[in-house]
Amino acid sequence: MNIILLGPPGAGKGTQAKRLETMRGMRQISTGDMLRAEVAAETSIGLDAKAIMAKGQFVPDPIMVQMIENRISQPDCTQGFILDGFPRTESQAEALDVMLRKKDMNIAAVILLDVAEDQLVERIASRRDEAGMRRPDDEPDVVRARLKVYRDQTAPILPYYEKGGRLERVDGMKSVEDVGLAIDAILQRVS
């Protein structure tokens, strides 16, 4: 089974994707993690992405589409995958659908984690990595910029999935456990 988790930055997509990966044997594909790895490795994609992400902006479509296509072709995705952070735009959603059709694959569910933006800024600003450091893109001003970009660029793809009857909504402000149970119910229904 292949699914997409949508929602603004900090909505809990990564947390829920890791949970589903463990429970269902699917492979989480987090574009954010992939981009941070590219930045850490100082690849050409990483250096370009670093400058873009530091401003709270999203990486351009061609880079993202190529990274996703390469990733879902890996053997560890044969049992299914969870897209976390992709697609972000209608053009990416369309490109994803075209790519999946060529591979005789589909998306079983598109799950939107609905959240309150003011609470998100607090949630994101308080998170830290394993070393206790805040990521540069988690600074409150950058978070607000990321949320604006989400509203302007990503939220408009919701009708794309709604008109196809593929969009499912979950209250992302509930506890991690309650959000997980709501997602489980959706997956049970679509499988």
Active site (catalytic) residues:
13, 88, 127, 135, 146
| 30 touches 136 (CB < 8 A) | no
d(CA 48, CA 46): 5
| 46 touches 100 (CB < 8 A) | no
d(CA 143, CA 160): 25
> What tokens were used for 137?
């893109």
How many secondary structure helices (H) and strands (E) does the chain include? 9, 5
CA-wise closest residue to 4 among 75, 83, 65: 83
| 161 touches 167 (CB < 8 A) | yes
d(CA 45, CA 43): 5
| 38 touches 45 (CB < 8 A) | yes
- DSSP annotation of 168: E
d(CA 8, CA 116): 10
